[in-house]
Amino acid sequence: MKFFVDTADLAEIRDLAATGLLDGVTTNPSLIAKSGRNMLDVIAEICDVVPGPVSAEVTATDVETMLAEAEVLSSVASNVAIKVPLTPNGLKTCKTLRDRDILVNVTLCFSAAQAVLAAKAGASFISPFVGRLDDIGLRGLDLIEEIVDIYNQYDNFETEVLVASIRGPAHVIDSARVGAHVATVPPNVLRQLYQHPLTEKGLDAFLKDWESTGQSILEQANQRKDAAE
């Protein structure tokens, strides 16, 4: 499974990218607005940090303007993926952009039927929102299972399932178990994946045992170096 981080915070992206875990980044107008900065500047800086796909979303709703905005956004860097809504105009825009070999992330997917349409339009990624479905009493993972199962039936469907609206580690693990290709994860959730009380307990015990010896690996290395000289 690929990990994308869902943020426009450059400090967070740089910190997480240093782990080698990030395969891409997703942004949206709301996340960019929180930064209080020029969208194009933010996208350019993110693309410099992360070589994988960086989703930048259009803000128009008509095809002509969406294509014009997409042209501007895609000119920022070669790894920009244009994010369009799952609407008739969004799918028309998707088809045109894919004909130009531009990556497209079709977002705000809430049904398997919508996901089939996005794949037919050639979407690079489809973004079903698990958390928002859970919020209204549905089981978001059911949608991920449906989409993955349908896509697996057709060799000509190359669209990757990019699970969005992730609220916790369980969404990530459950999505991985059913075969989703990508999870776009908020920074805090990505960090939660590291955590387990037994890891912390075990590390604490190891460090206490080592401290009790009064030894230092670096000091021992220096002693060996001095002795060799």
- Tokens standing for 185? 């994860």
Q: CB count, 10 Å around CB of 170? A: 12
Q: State how far the alpha carbon of 5 is from the alpha carbons of 44, 82, 99, in Å.
A: 16, 16, 27
Active site residue 225: no
Separation between Cα atoms, residue 100 and residue 129, nearest integer Å:
27
CA nearest neighbour of 142 among 129, 151, 153: 129
Active-site residue among 34, 83, 92, 201? 83
Residue 5, strand partner residues: 25, 185
Q: Which residues contact 133 (CB under 8 A, 6 or more apart)?
A: 110, 139, 140, 143, 165
Q: Say which residue the tokens 């690929």 belong to.
A: 2
Query: CB of 45 within 8 A of CB of 10?
Result: yes
Contacts of 13 (CB under 8 A, 6+ apart): 5, 7, 22, 25, 46, 49, 50
Q: Which residues are catalytic?
A: 83
